[in-house]
Amino acid sequence: MAHFDEKAKPFSHKWLNERMAVDTVKKVLSTEYWIPKDINFLWAMGMILAATFGLLIISGIFLLMYYQPSVDSAFDSVNYTIMNEVGYGWLWRHIHGVAASVVFLVIYIHMFTGIYYGSYKRGREMIWLSGMLLFVLFSAEAFSGYMLPWGQMSYWAGMVITNLFEGFSPTIAGGVANFPGFVEWLRGDYVPGQAFLTRFFMLHVFLLPLVIIAVIVLHFATLRIPHVNNQHGKEIDFDEAAKLYKEGKKKESKVIPFNPVFLSKDVFVMGVYFILFFYLVFFHFEFAMDPVNFDPADGLKTPAHIYPEWYFLWSYEILRPFNKDLGLIAFGFAQVAFFLLPFLDKSPVVAPANKRGLFKVWFWVMIVDMIVLTVMGKLPPEGIWTVIGLVAALVFIALFVALPFITKFEKKA
């Protein structure tokens, strides 16, 4: 039977502590959650992502007050009502649009930091897997959001992406069930229409954010036991280091508490980030808005060149050079390859890529290849661009096929 002090004032610290163990929760999540000293500003990206997601939710709530999920009025509710009639509606829209684009830049920096320092190994596999799940969920969230203004690119990107699933129909038909009208089932119609817009609206404002919040909690939970990695991949005895810190031997200890020491540094990096962020919001918001999407959706007028937002271009370019079925397989391979990274990298070495022989070459070729894929994805599929795109897509696939061999060799070396 728990002990309660009847004289404790309701909602006082003692009263809450007896009922909810607030001191223990604070210790576990904050003042005794230990962070290695040997890290740099790149380790602030996780908190920046959490803050940007918060901003997306807040700005999204304001937009939701005026947005109308109807094929007849969605375009005007965004481009006229929110942008011209509602006080500061334009500001919330620019914040939402810029955050949706910038969040992917930060996600890629966060992912590549993890790859560079080998932060997906030695007990950190679940951090990586939950992170990749967040990547897929954010992609679905961005795609569903892109449909909502019901402009030309919303409509035609929706058409092109759902068309891809035509490749799935025979597979399902031949395998599990007869499902010839899979694409129509997805759209709720023969072409994107009201049913399509309503379901993407539901996904964007309700189901996906809910799942994202749950997976962010999971991602944080997976960090608790292995702790974050450090710049040199050194194995730290966190109990020993924490003991030294608590004894006052702060210099000798290899760790600092998350709150207040690390958090203050996080907040500093976040401050710099938000200065740049609001600079974009006020002066260069157009980079996050496709001009083609300022024309209302028209099912009878296909845009000359259909392409996705910049953050999807690399995977789009992996799909595009091949025929439909092969393209879909290549696209699936690209997504699964990143998920499987902790298991494809056969070396137990946790160290920065520049100290890992062939892996260093692998890492930088992968970065350059993804940049080339991104650039090619934006260009029309003509002449030399098609060839470069095909070569870059093949290099990407080859890199992931080669990874287990490269890293196995590293182990023996």
Pick between residue 269 and residue 394 the one whose CB is nearest to ligand HEM.
269
Residue (322 or 339) nearer to ligand HEM, CB: 339
Binding site for ligand HEM (CB under 6 A): 43, 45-47, 49-50, 53, 107, 110-111, 114, 119-120, 124, 127-128, 131-132, 134-135, 138, 216, 219, 223, 228-229
- Nearest to ligand HEM of 114, 377 (CB atom): 114
Going from the C-alpha of 389 to that of each of 237, 331, 367, 376, the distances in angstroms are 47, 14, 15, 6
Rounded Cα–Cα distance for residues 299 and 301 (Å): 6
Decide whether 262 or 316 has the Cβ nearer to ligand HEM. Answer: 262
Nearest distance from residue 151's CB to ligand HEM, in Å?
26
- State the DSSP H helix or E strand holding residue 257, giving kind and residue range, or none if neither: strand 255-257
How far is residue 124's CA from residue 122's CA, in Å, rounded to a whole number?
A: 6
Closer to ligand HEM by Cβ: residue 46 or 89: 46
Nearest Cα neighbor of 294 from 85, 76, 98 is 76
Residue nearest to ligand HEM (CB): 46
Residue number with CB closer to ligand HEM (111 or 281): 111
Whether residue 149 contacts residue 74, with contact meaning beta carbons closer than 8 Å, is answered with yes
Minimum gap (Å) between residue 48 Cβ and ligand HEM: 8
How far apart are the two ends of the chain, measured CA to CA in Å?
Answer: 59
Nearest approach, Cβ of 49 to ligand HEM (angstroms)? 4
Length of the chain in terms of residues written: 413
Residues 6+ apart with CB under 8 A from 7: none
* Distance of alpha carbon 357 from alpha carbon 175, whole angstroms: 44
Considering the complex, what minimum distance in angstroms separates the CB of residue 9 from ligand HEM? 36
Smallest distance, ligand HEM to C-beta of residue 38, A: 11
- Smallest distance from the beta carbon of 175 to ligand HEM, in angstroms? 30
